[in-house]
A and B are shown apart, each in its own frame.
Chain A
Amino acid sequence: MSPQPKNWKEIPLGGACWKSSTEYKTGDWRSYKPIWNSEKCTRCMFCHIYCPEGAIKYEPETNDMVFDYDFCKGCGICANECPATAIEMVLEGKE
């Protein structure tokens, strides 16, 4: 997967994809934004596990959940599954 843009003579044959989908930001699909509350959170990792985008990551050094808003589509599974209600869905722009 090379990051270089290619012209039509250089594209690989057979429809091989060469760009990582992480270059395509799906975050602008979102209308609700998950807001994480560090104090309420018990670090059970359910939000990370159930996120269809893989947009929630665990940072072991700081013991924090990191939300990647570049990719979060705002489905709300994390807030719905959170046993400690530490995630709140807020209308985009109202946070």
Chain B
Amino acid sequence: MVKKLSEWKFTSKEFAQIPEKFASGHRACAGCGPAIVLRLVMKAARGPIIATNATGCMEVVSTIYPYTSWKIPWMHTAFETAAANASGIESALKILRKKGKIKDEHVDVVAFAGDGGTFDIGFQALSGAVERGHDFLYVLYDNEAYMNTGIQRSGGTPRGAWTTTSPAGKVIPGKAEHKKPIADIMVAHEMPYVATANIAYWKDLVIKARKGMEVNGPAFLHAFAPCPRGWRSENEKTVEIARLATETCVFPLWEAEYGEYKLSAPSKAIALKPERKKPVEAYLKTQRRFRHLFKPENKHVLEEIQSEVDRRWKKLLKACEIA
């Protein structure tokens, strides 16, 4: 039996010896960020686990018929119903246990969905499942567009990003709207556990995933996962770009239990020493989806992005009672 989180101290060598539940041979692009999220979250499992997956990159690449990369019970569901499916699985487990048809042990239910399946299409199912209080962990792997179908904008795409449905050119400089603060919206559900995580800070991500599974009730994990194909970035820079997102405060790391915000270590270091905060250009220039922003006529968009990042960062510090 795996220890509880409070007793779970591990070194990276011990972590490396935990068996993989997400097998090699899946057909994600080279340098895929979401695949790292899946591997790490599955390694954080404390015991038996059932996963469900909304349509999206990770569903498509992991189960190309007749091959499957999942070494655990896994179910694919429609784009909008990852959370609804997870609540069904959780209820089924409850009743089977009550009738004595399965062993009386705890089984973790994890739902995976991309940003399209969470920000836009799957939101009402997620909101409903959280309101009903089902005990499951919802992992959002955020690659900031509908990458699987060919890079269309989603509610998670940031301001100024090029996508095929928000093309940058003479008329518009990429997407016109800012990213929807989905994790804050989930906090407003007054749910037991909400956290943001980043593949570049793996230990933080693993501990948050485990915490989300241990919490009694719904938990939401917003995991930042760059997509080299859709972000037009270099394959080997995936983790480096993810790290820059936190260093520039574009994607700060925090967790919230019942609406009480708490900054996580990587972002707290920046909050305590504001001179460590990098300008957003450092993050934007690593990706060619933002390259039009560096033209002189689009300077105002850059300034707008910086001021929005600063505003949200200040708001977060206030919520964490630091500033």
Q: Which residues of A contact B (CB under 8 A)?
A: 1, 11, 15, 17-26, 29-30, 43-46, 48-55, 57-58, 60, 68, 70-71, 73-77, 79-81, 89
Q: Identify A19's interface contact among B29, B66, B71, B239, CB under 8 A.
A: B66
Nearest CB of A to B69, in Å? 4
Docked-complex contact A54 and B22, CB < 8 angstroms: yes
Please classify the interface of chain A as helix (H, G, I), strand (E, B), loop, or mixed, using the class held by over half of its residues.
Answer: loop
Docked-complex contact A22 and B239, CB < 8 angstroms: no
How many positions in chain B have a CB within 8 Å of any CB in the partner chain?
A: 40
Asked if B159 lies at the interface with its beta carbon under 8 angstroms from chain A, I say no
Docked-complex contact B67 and A77, CB < 8 angstroms: no
Nearest CB of A to B96, in Å? 20
Closest to A76 in B: B236
Report the 10 A-B pairs with minimum CB-CB distance, sorted nearest first: A76-B236, A21-B25, A75-B31, A17-B68, A75-B30, A52-B35, A73-B30, A71-B24, A45-B12, A80-B236
Docked-complex contact B28 and A52, CB < 8 angstroms: yes
User: Please, how many angstroms separate the alpha-carbon atoms of A48 and B29 in the complex?
Assistant: 18
Nearest CB of A to B139, in Å? 16
Docked-complex contact B67 and A23, CB < 8 angstroms: yes
Docked-complex contact A48 and B23, CB < 8 angstroms: no
Docked-complex contact B67 and A76, CB < 8 angstroms: no
Docked-complex contact A21 and B26, CB < 8 angstroms: yes
Residues of B near A21 (CB, < 8 A) are 23-27, 62, 64, 67-69
Docked-complex contact B65 and A17, CB < 8 angstroms: yes
